[in-house]
Copies of this chain bind each other. A is one copy, B any other.
Amino acid sequence: MGRAFNVAVAGATGAVGNEILLTLERRNFPVNELRLLASKRSVGKELDFRGEPLCVQELMHDAFDGIDIALFSAGADRSLEFAEAAVKAGAVVIDNSSAFRMDPDIPLVVPEVNPEDIKQHKGIIANPNCTTILMVVALKPLHDISPVKRIVVSTYQSASGAGARAMDELRTQASQVLEGKPVVAAALPHQIAFNLFSHDSAIGENGYCKEEMKMVDETRKIMHAPEIRVCATAIRVPVFRAHAESILIEQERKITIAEALRALEQAPGVRVIDDHVKSHFPMPIDATGQDDVLVGRIRDDISSENGLAMFICGDQLLKGAALNAVQIAELLD
């Protein structure tokens, strides 16, 4: 990248939008103009970027004039309504919602896995679901040794995946429990403090919720491996902003722990934490605020011939959303 870009952030006041600003700044992304866009009720709100206050403007069809890159993180409905306008104004849209992810004409990109797909874009590039991003970053180096045929994954998903209000609700409910007061659930469907529950996205005919099917469909698309079979269970846990995942893979041939460790230790975006003696493995408090996906508990699956088990953890707001989007932007010419 030799030039500076005019960048718009749609959904700038949300949990992910806020991390996008911090990530652009931290990574010295070459921003010329930064335009903060959000819904009407946030207009006039000020957010800091590089130490200067910027005023939030209304997200409208004509808000993208002169913009080179529009980072969308305002939900699928807003993306469907406004992304096309941004593209028409000449911007490349990097969309964090589920709106375009499975559109065969729109690339779905994790820079560590399929950066080359960016070249196919016709104005929009989709940012995958958070749980999928973290998983494919960990699995790609292993898939390159021997193709992954099957994935069984159970998630431990933080409140941040449901937005800033859910994070606040976890905090508020925890106080309510500690003080013996009744717990109020509003942003999330059930009590999250000192509890956990099955992800509340709609359950389809096959019994899987949307969040789980994202891990099936998006993994296949990103890894260019439509034959991979995935059984996912998505569970929300009382953690603020880092997701964890218990993953078992079956590969075409058995790979050794040594092979897996060597590949993971060299893989971009991965940090191996696998200390048997000190019982130190990936944890949300270690992943919070970190760019890398933490990978550990790497061991042979003792229930199959060619299986490997592991436990991973990554910041949902960073690699699971904002960081991945900014990394995509960094690959644009």
Contacts and interface: CB of A to CB of B under 8 A. Distances in A.
Interface of A: 150-152, 154, 156, 170-171, 174-175, 177-178, 189-191, 194-198, 200, 203, 206-208, 216, 229-231, 233, 235, 237-240, 244, 246, 248, 257, 276, 279, 281-285, 296-304, 307, 309, 311
Contacts of A151: 303
A305 to B, nearest CB: 10
A219 B248 CA distance: 20
A301 B216 CA distance: 12
A257 B301 CA distance: 27
Contact of A198 (B152, B191, B198, B279): B279
Contacts of A281: 197-198
Contacts of A309: 207, 231, 233
A302 B216 contact: yes
Contact of A302 (B231, B237, B302): B231
A49 to B, nearest CB: 26
A2 B133 CA distance: 62
B302 A246 contact: no
